[in-house]
């Protein structure tokens, strides 16, 4: 752990000597600045917020005692070690009353300095660990990773600080975004913050699970549980799903305490697979899917034959239509997600074997592994569709492969530029171009380095900037013209992107 230290001493040789010694004692002692009087010291304290100050008492302009008193009045609780001479001892006693860790006599004894620094560093470590252990997010993270152990003292602290009990029932809601995680995380974060702001009676916290491309949401101390779950199902999940452009699968399950969280997360991850059957804007409840009666998927052999023909003739539109019909067949009745995936793998093998027979499939082994892995873990039909389209692109001739993605992106950017203020989304753009959302999103990211949401946001923010500088329109008018739902949301997004609110930007640039 690095300890950040500031030296405030008016005698230059002593000041520079301390800086030199601190750098030599340990690489974990980082000197963040020095000052020669109390006024400079206050500025340094405010700018650097060090963990520890080595502070002389007798200094010109403002002495160390005056500086320490003012720093405490400003709310600074930075640790302080006083440097003093015997004649300053009365001052040192007053400093002790203001809260210091130790006082060292000049000239400073190296051994005593080392021992003092080591002790303070350990205190800071223990305090920081204590703060972290009180973070509800940290406790939930430990529980999800199977590292939570019941502790009566921790339980008391969590109850006192958050009203949270690790032994009581929690309602867990899981949002899996998969490949959309990076592009939709900002919108998901904004929705959760706004939900908490507008529902102060709902106690909640959430944890981003980057490796799982998900967010784990806990609702605790829930009143009228049945009504609350119904509220999540009918109002919250549909609105949340629309906010992230229907790029998520939602699952929910009750948990009897923190000790069950790791098991609950695995159950929710598996439940998200039912998104293939139940579709968007649905809260997938683990209890309900366990009661569902499923039917066997009758394999559409006629569609397989059409797909084989499309592969032989390199007919991309025919292949796309064929697999869309295949997806529709999978949605006519309730099938288990695992069966859906297995049937899709059989379909993929039919395409792969046909291309192999025609000698038009490149990088066969790597491609097969990638396709199978995608399908076996698919939560969204778009993932499966895009895997199939990627497979078909690898079958196409070189000239077609080199130009199709670039042309697609150019057309998409043209549509976005023309329609961004009308609220066009990825789904509508993909529909106009006759491809899936995920495939279009992947190609946009690959060709431009930006997601669809990021591109839309850039156009909107640029439009807002132009209207702020070139007109005297009010924020609600600007929000409407730039395609934002309301001025408050526009201001949030603008500050995220520009670093200041719209009115501040207007004042600074006009």
Q: What is the DSSP-derived secondary structure letter of residue 358?
A: H
What's the total number of domains in the chain?
5
Whether residue 371 sits in one domain with residue 466: no
| Beta-bridge partners for 207 | 216
Q: What is the pLDDT of residue 253?
A: 94
Whether residue 152 sits in one domain with residue 32: no
Q: What is the pLDDT of residue 134?
A: 63
Whether residue 98 sits in one domain with residue 141: no
Residue 453: CA atoms inside 13 Å, Cβ hemisphere, count? 17
Cβ atoms of 216 and 174 closer than 8 Å: yes
pLDDT digit string, tens, across residues 340-375: 999 999 988 888 888 877 766 665 666 778 888 888
Whether residue 144 sits in one domain with residue 126: no
* CA nearest neighbour of 315 among 327, 307, 304: 307
Whether residue 424 sits in one domain with residue 335: no
Whether residue 141 sits in one domain with residue 271: yes
The Cα-based distances of 303 to 247, 261, 329 in angstroms read 28, 43, 10
| Beta-bridge partners for 249 | 176
Q: What is the pLDDT of residue 402?
A: 45
Q: What percent of the chain is predicted at pLDDT more than 70?
A: 91
Q: Is residue 371 part of a domain?
A: yes
Cβ atoms of 83 and 68 closer than 8 Å: no
Q: Is residue 160 part of a domain?
A: yes
Residue 493: CA atoms inside 13 Å, Cβ hemisphere, count? 25
Q: What is the pLDDT of residue 43?
A: 92
The Cα-based distances of 471 to 467, 477, 485, 494, 499 in angstroms read 5, 11, 20, 17, 21
User: Is residue 415 pLDDT above 60, yes or no?
Assistant: yes
Q: Is residue 295 part of a domain?
A: no
pLDDT digit string, tens, across residues 316-347: 888 888 888 888 888 888 888 999 999 999 98
pLDDT digit string, tens, across residues 297-313: 888 888 888 888 888 87
Largest CA distance in the chain: 100
Q: Is residue 222 part of a domain?
A: yes
**Chain length of the chain:** 510
Range of 225's domain? Answer: 136-286
- The arithmetic mean of pLDDT across residues 223-232, rounded, is 91
Cβ atoms of 367 and 355 closer than 8 Å: no
């Amino acid at each position: 752990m690095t300890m950040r230290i500031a030296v405030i001493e008016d005698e230059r040789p002593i000041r520079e000597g301390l800086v030199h010694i601190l750098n030599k004692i340990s690489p974990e002692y980082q000197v963040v600045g020095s000052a020669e009087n109390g006024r400079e010291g206050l500025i340094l304290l405010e700018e650097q917020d060090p963990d520890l100050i080595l502070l002389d008492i007798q200094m010109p302009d403002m002495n160390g005692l005056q500086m320490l008193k003012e720093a405490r009045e400003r709310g600074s609780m930075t640790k302080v070690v006083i440097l003093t001479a015997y004649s300053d001892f009365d001052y040192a006693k007053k400093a002790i009353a203001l809260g210091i860790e130790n006082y060292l006599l000049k000239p400073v004894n190296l051994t005593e300095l080392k021992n003092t620094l080591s002790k303070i560093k350990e205190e800071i470590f223990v305090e920081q660990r204590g703060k972290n252990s009180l973070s509800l997010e940290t406790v939930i993270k430990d529980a999800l990773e199977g590292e939570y152990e019941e502790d009566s003292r921790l339980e008391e602290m969590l109850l006192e600080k958050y009203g949270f009990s690790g032994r009581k029932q929690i309602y867990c809601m899981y949002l899996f975004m998969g490949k959309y995680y990076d592009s939709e995380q900002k919108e998901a974060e904004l929705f959760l913050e706004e939900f908490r702001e507008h529902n102060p009676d709902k106690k909640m916290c959430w944890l981003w699970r980057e490796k799982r491309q998900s967010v784990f949401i806990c609702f605790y101390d829930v009143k009228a549980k049945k009504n609350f779950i119904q509220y999540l199902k009918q109002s919250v999940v549909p609105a949340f799903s629309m906010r992230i452009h229907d790029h998520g699968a939602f699952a929910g399950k009750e948990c009897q305490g923190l000790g069950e969280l790791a098991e609950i997360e695995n159950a929710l991850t598996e439940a998200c697979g039912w998104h293939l059957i139940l579709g968007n804007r649905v809260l997938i409840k683990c209890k309900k899917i366990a009661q569902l009666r499923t039917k066997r998927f009758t394999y559409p052999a006629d569609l397989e034959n059409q797909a084989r023909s499309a592969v032989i003739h390199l007919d991309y539109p025919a292949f796309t239509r064929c697999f869309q019909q295949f997806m529709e067949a999978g949605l006519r009745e309730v099938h288990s997600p695992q069966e859906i995936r297995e049937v899709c793998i059989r379909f993929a093998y039919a395409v792969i074997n046909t291309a192999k027979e025609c000698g038009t499939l490149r990088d066969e082994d790597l491609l097969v592994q990638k396709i199978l892995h995608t399908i076996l873990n698919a939560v969204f039909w778009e993932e499966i569709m895009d895997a199939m389209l990627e497979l078909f692109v690898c079958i196409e001739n070189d000239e077609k492969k080199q130009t199709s993605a670039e042309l697609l992106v150019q057309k998409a950017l043209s549509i976005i530029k023309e329609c961004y203020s009308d609220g066009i989304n990825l789904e509508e753009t993909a529909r106009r171009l006759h491809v899936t959302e995920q495939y279009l999103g992947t190609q946009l990211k690959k060709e431009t380095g930006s997601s669809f949401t990021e591109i839309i946001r850039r156009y909107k923010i640029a439009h807002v900037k132009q209207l702020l500088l070139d007109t005297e329109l009010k924020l609600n008018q600007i929000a409407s013209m730039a395609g934002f739902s309301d001025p408050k949301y526009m201001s949030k997004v603008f500050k995220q992107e520009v670093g200041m609110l719209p009115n501040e930007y207007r004042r600074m640039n006009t």
